[in-house]
A and B are shown apart, each in its own frame.
Chain A
Amino acid sequence: MDVDFIFKVAGIGIIVSVLHQLLVRSGREEQAMLTTLAGLIVVLLMVITQIGKLFETIKSVFGL
Protein backbone atom coordinates (compact mmCIF):
# COMPACT_ATOMS: atom_id res chain seq x y z
CA MET A 1 0.00 0.00 0.00
CA ASP A 2 1.23 3.44 -0.90
CA VAL A 3 0.22 7.08 -0.59
CA ASP A 4 -1.22 6.68 -4.11
CA PHE A 5 -4.04 4.64 -2.58
CA ILE A 6 -5.31 7.65 -0.60
CA PHE A 7 -5.22 9.84 -3.70
CA LYS A 8 -7.02 7.09 -5.63
CA VAL A 9 -9.87 7.02 -3.11
CA ALA A 10 -10.14 10.81 -2.97
CA GLY A 11 -9.97 11.06 -6.78
CA ILE A 12 -12.79 8.56 -7.21
CA GLY A 13 -14.77 10.61 -4.71
CA ILE A 14 -14.26 13.83 -6.69
CA ILE A 15 -15.08 12.17 -10.04
CA VAL A 16 -18.23 10.59 -8.64
CA SER A 17 -19.41 13.88 -7.19
CA VAL A 18 -18.89 15.62 -10.56
CA LEU A 19 -20.75 12.81 -12.35
CA HIS A 20 -23.53 13.07 -9.79
CA GLN A 21 -23.86 16.81 -10.41
CA LEU A 22 -23.88 16.31 -14.20
CA LEU A 23 -26.51 13.58 -14.10
CA VAL A 24 -28.73 15.50 -11.68
CA ARG A 25 -28.54 18.65 -13.84
CA SER A 26 -29.57 16.67 -16.93
CA GLY A 27 -32.55 15.27 -15.04
CA ARG A 28 -31.43 11.66 -14.51
CA GLU A 29 -31.73 11.31 -10.76
CA GLU A 30 -31.88 7.49 -10.78
CA GLN A 31 -28.71 7.13 -12.80
CA ALA A 32 -26.98 9.67 -10.56
CA MET A 33 -27.92 7.61 -7.53
CA LEU A 34 -26.71 4.40 -9.18
CA THR A 35 -23.38 6.01 -10.13
CA THR A 36 -22.85 7.11 -6.56
CA LEU A 37 -23.68 3.62 -5.31
CA ALA A 38 -21.35 1.93 -7.82
CA GLY A 39 -18.46 4.24 -6.93
CA LEU A 40 -19.05 3.69 -3.23
CA ILE A 41 -19.03 -0.11 -3.64
CA VAL A 42 -15.81 -0.03 -5.68
CA VAL A 43 -14.01 2.13 -3.10
CA LEU A 44 -15.41 0.10 -0.22
CA LEU A 45 -14.01 -3.10 -1.74
CA MET A 46 -10.60 -1.45 -2.20
CA VAL A 47 -10.52 -0.17 1.38
CA ILE A 48 -11.73 -3.47 2.83
CA THR A 49 -8.79 -5.29 1.20
CA GLN A 50 -6.38 -2.82 2.82
CA ILE A 51 -8.06 -3.15 6.23
CA GLY A 52 -7.78 -6.93 5.95
CA LYS A 53 -4.06 -6.59 5.21
CA LEU A 54 -3.61 -4.30 8.22
CA PHE A 55 -5.40 -6.77 10.49
CA GLU A 56 -3.28 -9.65 9.20
CA THR A 57 -0.12 -7.64 9.90
CA ILE A 58 -1.22 -6.79 13.45
CA LYS A 59 -2.20 -10.42 14.05
CA SER A 60 1.20 -11.68 12.94
CA VAL A 61 3.16 -8.97 14.81
CA PHE A 62 1.40 -9.27 18.15
CA GLY A 63 0.55 -12.97 17.97
CA LEU A 64 -3.21 -12.50 18.33
Chain B
Amino acid sequence: MQISSIIAIALITAILVLFLKEYRPEYAALTAISAGCLILGMVLVQVIPTIGELNSLMRQANVDTGYFAVAFKALGICYLTQFASDICRDFGQSSLAGTVDLAGKVLKVTNSLPLLSGIIEVALGLVG
Protein backbone atom coordinates (compact mmCIF):
# COMPACT_ATOMS: atom_id res chain seq x y z
CA MET B 1 0.00 0.00 0.00
CA GLN B 2 1.34 3.38 -0.93
CA ILE B 3 -0.39 6.40 0.53
CA SER B 4 0.01 8.20 -2.80
CA SER B 5 -2.04 5.58 -4.67
CA ILE B 6 -4.81 5.73 -2.07
CA ILE B 7 -4.89 9.52 -2.29
CA ALA B 8 -5.01 9.31 -6.09
CA ILE B 9 -7.92 6.85 -6.03
CA ALA B 10 -9.82 9.02 -3.53
CA LEU B 11 -9.33 12.26 -5.50
CA ILE B 12 -10.17 10.75 -8.89
CA THR B 13 -13.29 9.13 -7.43
CA ALA B 14 -14.31 12.40 -5.80
CA ILE B 15 -14.15 14.17 -9.17
CA LEU B 16 -16.04 11.34 -10.91
CA VAL B 17 -18.73 11.43 -8.23
CA LEU B 18 -19.01 15.21 -8.57
CA PHE B 19 -19.49 14.80 -12.32
CA LEU B 20 -21.98 11.92 -12.09
CA LYS B 21 -24.07 13.59 -9.39
CA GLU B 22 -25.42 16.10 -11.92
CA TYR B 23 -26.64 13.53 -14.41
CA ARG B 24 -27.17 10.22 -12.58
CA PRO B 25 -27.02 10.54 -8.76
CA GLU B 26 -27.49 6.77 -8.24
CA TYR B 27 -24.30 6.00 -10.17
CA ALA B 28 -22.47 8.58 -8.11
CA ALA B 29 -23.45 6.63 -4.99
CA LEU B 30 -22.34 3.32 -6.49
CA THR B 31 -18.99 4.78 -7.62
CA ALA B 32 -18.36 6.13 -4.13
CA ILE B 33 -19.25 2.77 -2.56
CA SER B 34 -16.91 0.85 -4.84
CA ALA B 35 -14.05 3.27 -4.16
CA GLY B 36 -14.67 2.89 -0.43
CA CYS B 37 -14.56 -0.90 -0.79
CA LEU B 38 -11.30 -0.71 -2.74
CA ILE B 39 -9.51 1.60 -0.31
CA LEU B 40 -10.73 -0.29 2.76
CA GLY B 41 -9.58 -3.55 1.18
CA MET B 42 -6.14 -2.09 0.47
CA VAL B 43 -5.84 -0.99 4.10
CA LEU B 44 -7.04 -4.34 5.48
CA VAL B 45 -4.41 -6.23 3.51
CA GLN B 46 -1.85 -4.20 5.43
CA VAL B 47 -3.54 -4.88 8.76
CA ILE B 48 -3.38 -8.70 8.52
CA PRO B 49 0.37 -9.14 9.35
CA THR B 50 0.13 -6.60 12.19
CA ILE B 51 -2.63 -8.63 13.83
CA GLY B 52 -0.55 -11.79 13.60
CA GLU B 53 2.41 -9.99 15.16
CA LEU B 54 0.29 -8.61 18.03
CA ASN B 55 -1.21 -12.06 18.64
CA SER B 56 2.23 -13.64 18.93
CA LEU B 57 3.38 -10.83 21.28
CA MET B 58 0.35 -11.46 23.50
CA ARG B 59 1.10 -15.17 23.53
CA GLN B 60 4.68 -14.44 24.58
CA ALA B 61 3.45 -12.22 27.41
CA ASN B 62 1.04 -14.99 28.54
CA VAL B 63 -2.01 -12.74 28.11
CA ASP B 64 -5.30 -14.50 27.38
CA THR B 65 -5.88 -14.14 23.63
CA GLY B 66 -9.65 -14.28 24.26
CA TYR B 67 -9.59 -10.67 25.43
CA PHE B 68 -7.65 -9.73 22.34
CA ALA B 69 -10.20 -11.44 20.08
CA VAL B 70 -13.00 -9.39 21.69
CA ALA B 71 -11.08 -6.16 21.03
CA PHE B 72 -10.48 -7.10 17.41
CA LYS B 73 -14.12 -8.01 16.92
CA ALA B 74 -15.09 -4.56 18.19
CA LEU B 75 -12.55 -3.02 15.81
CA GLY B 76 -14.03 -4.91 12.84
CA ILE B 77 -17.56 -3.81 13.79
CA CYS B 78 -16.27 -0.22 14.03
CA TYR B 79 -14.77 -0.29 10.55
CA LEU B 80 -17.89 -1.78 8.97
CA THR B 81 -20.38 0.53 10.66
CA GLN B 82 -18.22 3.58 9.95
CA PHE B 83 -18.08 2.62 6.27
CA ALA B 84 -21.82 2.06 5.97
CA SER B 85 -22.91 5.11 8.00
CA ASP B 86 -20.51 7.44 6.16
CA ILE B 87 -21.95 6.33 2.82
CA CYS B 88 -25.52 6.77 4.08
CA ARG B 89 -24.67 10.26 5.38
CA ASP B 90 -22.94 11.18 2.10
CA PHE B 91 -26.13 10.58 0.18
CA GLY B 92 -28.45 12.40 2.52
CA GLN B 93 -29.81 9.46 4.52
CA SER B 94 -28.73 10.62 7.95
CA SER B 95 -31.50 8.69 9.72
CA LEU B 96 -30.25 5.43 8.18
CA ALA B 97 -26.71 6.40 9.16
CA GLY B 98 -27.85 6.95 12.74
CA THR B 99 -29.54 3.54 12.78
CA VAL B 100 -26.37 1.84 11.50
CA ASP B 101 -24.36 3.64 14.19
CA LEU B 102 -26.79 2.46 16.85
CA ALA B 103 -26.60 -1.11 15.56
CA GLY B 104 -22.81 -0.98 15.75
CA LYS B 105 -22.89 0.32 19.32
CA VAL B 106 -25.36 -2.35 20.45
CA LEU B 107 -23.30 -5.11 18.82
CA LYS B 108 -20.13 -3.83 20.47
CA VAL B 109 -21.79 -3.81 23.89
CA THR B 110 -23.17 -7.34 23.48
CA ASN B 111 -19.76 -8.42 22.20
CA SER B 112 -17.89 -7.11 25.22
CA LEU B 113 -20.44 -8.04 27.91
CA PRO B 114 -18.56 -11.25 28.88
CA LEU B 115 -15.52 -9.11 29.74
CA LEU B 116 -17.64 -6.93 32.04
CA SER B 117 -18.98 -9.97 33.87
CA GLY B 118 -15.38 -11.21 34.25
CA ILE B 119 -14.38 -7.89 35.86
CA ILE B 120 -17.37 -8.03 38.21
CA GLU B 121 -16.46 -11.59 39.22
CA VAL B 122 -12.91 -10.47 40.04
CA ALA B 123 -14.25 -7.51 42.04
CA LEU B 124 -16.65 -9.72 43.97
CA GLY B 125 -13.80 -12.14 44.69
CA LEU B 126 -11.76 -9.29 46.12
CA VAL B 127 -14.64 -8.04 48.28
CA GLY B 128 -15.80 -11.42 49.51
Q: Determine if B51 and A13 form an interchain contact, defined as CB atoms under 8 angstroms apart.
A: no
Give the one of A14, A53, A58 with max B CB within 10 A: A58
Q: Mostly helix, strand, loop or mixed at chain B's interface?
A: helix
Which A residues are in CB contact (< 8 Å) with B19? 10
Q: Determine if A1 and B31 form an interchain contact, defined as CB atoms under 8 angstroms apart.
A: no
Report the minimal beta-carbon distance from B125 to chain A, rounded to whole angstroms: 29
Chain B, interface residues (CB within 8 Å), range: 20 to 34
Q: Determine if A47 and B44 form an interchain contact, defined as CB atoms under 8 angstroms apart.
A: no
Q: Determine if A63 and B30 form an interchain contact, defined as CB atoms under 8 angstroms apart.
A: no
One of B56-64, B76-84, B92-100, B112-120 at the interface: B76-84
Q: Determine if A6 and B9 form an interchain contact, defined as CB atoms under 8 angstroms apart.
A: yes
Q: Mostly helix, strand, loop or mixed at chain A's interface?
A: helix
Measured CB to CB, the residues of B under 8 A from A are 9, 12-13, 16, 19-20, 23-24, 26-28, 30-31, 33-35, 37-38, 40-41, 44, 47-48, 51, 69, 72-73, 75-77, 79-80
Measured CB to CB, the residues of A under 8 A from B are 1-3, 5-7, 9-10, 12-14, 16-17, 20, 36, 39-40, 43-44, 46-47, 50-51, 53-55, 57-59, 61-64
